Amino acid sequence: MESFWFCDDCLFAEAYDDYSALSLHHTADDVDARIAAIRDGLTRLMPISADFDADAGWGVDPFSRSPCDGCGSPLHGPRHRFTRL
């Protein structure tokens, strides 16, 4: 199976269709561009399914230096594993 590692922004977009946290870290103009990048990345990888359990500690990298496989963000931070169906 092919796996992908998503940043928190892509995680919330995929799981909940929620982009509200973007406004905490970006200007209004940047939010629109970020939403477009996230949607494009997730659409390109579909169909996918979550492949992690945060409580059990598997499928989560708490601090990754790799870019997000969804939106391509180079920012370091947590990544969550998703698998192509």
CA distance 58 to 82: 12
Q: What is the CA radius of gyration of the chain?
A: 12
pLDDT tens, 25-73? 888 889 999 999 999 999 999 999 999 999 998 999 999 999 999 999 9
Give just the sign of the alpha carbon dihedral 85, 54, 58, 23.
Answer: positive
pTM for this prediction: 0.90
Cβ contact 59:35 at 8 Å: no
Backbone angles phi, psi at 64, to 5 degrees: -110, 145
Tokens of 75: 């920012």
